[in-house]
Amino acid sequence: MTDDQPGSARAENELRTLLHRAVATVEPDPTALGRIRHAVPRRRARRRNAWTGAVAATLLAAAAVPALHAVRPFDLSGGTTAGSTDAHGADRTPRATRGSTGGPRTAPLPAHPDARPTPSTGTSGSAVATDPGSSTASAPVSVPACLRTDLGRGTAHVDPADSAGSTYGFFTVRNTSARSCGVTGPGIVAATAGGPADQTRIKVVDHIAGDAATALPAPGPVALPMVLRPGEGYRVRFGWVPEGACPSSAPRAAVAAPEAPATPAAGSGPVVPAAATTDPSPSPTPTADPPSVTVAHTPVGGDPTAASTVITGSCGGTVYRTAPEAVPAESATATATPGKS
């Protein structure tokens, strides 16, 4: 740089050259266009649904606020607050407005007359006094929101990779508590790179119609909170669509997680379920770590992870996840299956 002529054309030109030279080696990430292309329709959908979402949020709030109130007496075991809960709409007259909002997926509320009173009825007083008249038609009445500790028995199921190399599977999480509760959010699906896989090339996105995860069901309306009776659960499906090649040294495996021993987890599918609580303890393979991606689900409420699974053979790609869908109780726990879409 020159020592004189401040602001001169020469200095400006020099700066121009310097600036261009300074970033001449900066090159786009090759996956950038793909990411943008995936994200744009999603963002549009979000904009489009902005006001629909506002309505949904209002409904959610309407359902969740009493639910939150209902949780409090559970924590504080205070009789006074329990009293206030009743004032919040745990009445036996379902509100007319609620009736009209009944999403297809919201499970029928505990308002069933069958002989299965939840032991915690006393504490979660909001669990709706039995009212045979309203029964299943009444939509989200107040049940307490599911605490993280209410949800468990997480399992993961993965199908073998399809011809296109994509891998599909799902996580199932159940209400392991003795009371009904409402799942208030979709939870988190996270993907972590293992071996030579590249974390920066791994994305998790919501599944939308027309995206690359063609085997996932088209997303429908999501009705949260989703009420789970004891034993009932929800399922979050995912599809792993690998993208790009591995660094040449990385070994490629053709099938999903061939080396991980199938843990005899409850209700597991045929292929490699690995409940997070049980240590998957992958048997050491003679070669170096194969590239792998660990896909894990954490329910709303945060850690710990409910279930995870390892997909090997690719170094980057996208996890497409769906919203939770209801899963009936496994065994003879329930006589009536919930309204499953």
Partner 1 sequence: MIEAVPVVSLPVRRSAASRMGSAAAADATGASVDQLTETYQAHYRSLLRLAALLLDDLSSCEDVVQEAFIRVHAARRRVREPEKTLAYLRQTVVNLSRSTLRRRILGLRVLPKPMPDMASAEEGAYDALERDQLRTALRGLQRRQREVLVLRYYADLTEAQVAEVLGVSVGSVKAYGSRGLAALRVLMEGSHD
The binding site for partner 1 (CB under 8 A) comprises 1-3, 6-7, 11-12, 15-16, 18-29, 32-33, 35-37, 39-41, 43-45, 47-48, 51-52, 200, 209-210
Report d(CA 143, CA 146) in Å as an integer: 9
Which is nearer to partner 1, 32 or 96 (by Cβ)? 32
Asked whether 296 and 190 are in contact (CB, 8 A), the reply is yes
Which is nearer to partner 1, 2 or 149 (by Cβ)? 2
- Least distance to partner 1 from the beta carbon of 227, Å? 28
Omega before 225 within 30 of 0, i.e. cis: yes
- Least distance to partner 1 from the beta carbon of 244, Å? 15
Omega before 73 within 30 of 0, i.e. cis: no
Extract the tokens encoding 28.
């786009």
- Least distance to partner 1 from the beta carbon of 40, Å? 5
Which residue, among 317, 143, 125, 182, has the nearest Cα to 239 in the 3D structure?
317
Asked whether 188 and 283 are in contact (CB, 8 A), the reply is no
- Least distance to partner 1 from the beta carbon of 314, Å? 21
Which is nearer to partner 1, 199 or 333 (by Cβ)? 199
- Least distance to partner 1 from the beta carbon of 221, Å? 12
Query: Which residue carries 């329910």 as its tokens?
Result: 299
- Least distance to partner 1 from the beta carbon of 242, Å? 20
Backbone φ and ψ for 239, nearest 5 degrees, come out as -130, 135
3-state per-residue secondary structure call for 4-35: CCCCCHHHHHHHHHHHHHHCCCCCCCCCHHHH
- Per-residue DSSP letters for 305-319? P-EEEEEES-S-EEE
Which is nearer to partner 1, 28 or 284 (by Cβ)? 28
Which is nearer to partner 1, 28 or 132 (by Cβ)? 28
Report d(CA 169, CA 158) in Å as an integer: 4
Which is nearer to partner 1, 18 or 288 (by Cβ)? 18
- Least distance to partner 1 from the beta carbon of 37, Å? 6
- Least distance to partner 1 from the beta carbon of 81, Å? 36
Asked whether 128 and 93 are in contact (CB, 8 A), the reply is no
Which is nearer to partner 1, 38 or 229 (by Cβ)? 38
Which is nearer to partner 1, 17 or 285 (by Cβ)? 17
Task: Collect all residues with Cβ–Cβ distance below 8 Å to 326 and sequence separation of at least 6.
Answer: 105, 107, 226, 228, 232, 233, 234, 235, 338, 339, 340, 341
Which residue, among 339, 297, 311, has the nearest Cα to 152 in the 3D structure?
297
